Amino acid sequence: MNSKKKGGNYERDVARILSVWATGSEENLVYWRQVSSGSVSTVAKRNNKNAAGLDGDFICIAEDTHPKFNVLKQFLQVFFVDSKCLGNVHLLMTNKKNQKSNQLLNEIKKVFSEAKRSNKLPMLICKATNDRKIDDFIILPTYLDLYSQLDKSNSMYYRITNEDGTKLLFQLITCSEFFSMNSFDDFVSSSSPVLQNMQETFLAK
């Protein structure tokens, strides 16, 4: 199976996982993969249309009569959600000699940059195909308060210095732990003010 097909299949898997996390049910999908997501959002922005919820790999497909429709849409208005199926995952990203060739780090930089351009918070969900011992994991910025039970979490925290001197601060957590320890509604409601504060700080400059 080629990498493009693997990526597409993984996007479908992630869409199902997000749907179950959001609704608590496996019966109905509320998220699905966004085909040609980059081109869709680019065209919308070019035509001065609201592209919120069109950036990233996923779209909300829930009917507007869904009881959780507002928070389902809000999730993709707050987060730039991307997923990657990577054949070369090295979790040690602090070695400057290997940073340029580190596939995972390059994807993280790309997603964080695209999220910033979209005025959203980055979320990258990954599968390592080169090592089955590595559980699927999520990359999120460190400024998000993920848990009410920090002593039970097993996050890995990174501080990377980019070539231009800027800092990239993020945390890595397994998908199983993240989705079991974070309520969808609470996560969205607690993250929204973080995004708003970041936008206000940016505008103030």
Spell out the per-residue pLDDT of the chain, length 205, in tens: 666 677 789 999 999 999 999 999 998 999 999 976 444 444 444 444 444 445 789 999 999 999 999 999 999 999 999 999 998 888 888 777 777 888 999 999 999 999 999 999 999 999 998 888 899 999 999 888 665 544 556 788 899 988 788 889 999 999 999 999 899 999 999 999 888 888 776 554 4
Q: Using CA atoms, how far apart are residues 26 and 162, in angstroms rounded to an integer? A: 41
Give the pLDDT of residue 50: 46
Q: Using CA atoms, how far apart are residues 80 and 89, in angstroms rounded to an integer? A: 21
Q: Using CA atoms, how far apart are residues 90 and 150, in angstroms rounded to an integer? A: 25
Nearest to 152 by CA among 182, 131, 116: 182
For residue 60, give the H/E element and its range: strand 58-60
**Token pair 């973080």: residue:** 194
Q: Say if residues 138 and 147 touch (Cβ distance below 8 Å).
A: no
Give the pLDDT of residue 44: 42
- Sheet containing 156-161, strands listed edge to edge, beginning at the edge strand earlier in sequence: 79-86, 121-128, 137-141, 167-174, 156-161
* Stated pTM of the model: 0.85
Q: Using CA atoms, how far apart are residues 204 and 199, in angstroms rounded to an integer? A: 9
Give the pLDDT of residue 61: 96
Residue 157 φ/ψ, nearest 5 degrees: -105, 140
Give the pLDDT of residue 155: 81
Task: Give the list of residues 6+ apart from residue 44 with CB closer than 8 angstroms, or none.
Answer: 50, 51, 54
Pairing mode of beta strands 137-141, 167-174: antiparallel
Q: Say if residues 122 and 112 touch (Cβ distance below 8 Å).
A: yes
**Token pair 């979790």: residue:** 91
Give the pLDDT of residue 146: 66
Give the pLDDT of residue 101: 84
